[in-house]
Amino acid sequence: MTDGFTAQTGDLRSTAPRYGAVTDRVATIYQTLVNALEAEGACWGNDDSGRAWGSKYAPAALAALQQMSGTQQGLQSMVDGICSWARNFVDVDQMVQESAAQIASTDD
């Protein structure tokens, strides 16, 4: 039986860019969509039918954009957390190994 746990920090480091790439892709999609929608403006017109349609479309579109932005922020937070955890794990592991080496050298 082993005490503690181990982590493949090299694997974490090597896969982190892939998570970052997904986050960047979501941000790009979001910005492309926002730019396209802003360029179109209120394309449904200003007559009664257009205003009625726009009053239903605009809030739903805004909610969808906010959700996409929230998804991108959540992904970025996850990437940052994984990278931070990996760095902390490596730092603590190194500190423990150095402390163990010091203890072992004083026992000799």
- The reply to whether 8 falls in a domain is no
Domain presence at residue 4 = no
Six-digit token string for 43: 């394309």
Structural domain of residue 94, as residue ranges? 15-107
**Residue 96 forms part of a structural domain:** yes
Secondary structure (3-state) at 86: helix
Q: Is residue 6 in a domain? A: no
Report if residue 62 sits inside a domain: yes
Chain segment 62-95, per-residue pLDDT in tens = 999 999 999 999 989 988 888 888 888 888 878 8
The answer as to whether 20 is a domain residue is: yes
In a domain, 41, yes or no: yes
Query: Hey, how many other C-beta atoms are within 10 angstroms of the C-beta on 72?
Result: 20
Residue 1 lies in a domain: no
* Total domains, the chain: 1
Under 8 Å between Cβ of 62 and 72: no
pTM of the model: 0.67
**pLDDT, tens only, 24-70:** 999 999 999 999 989 988 888 889 999 999 999 999 999 999 999 99
Q: How many CB atoms lie within 10 A of CB 69?
A: 15
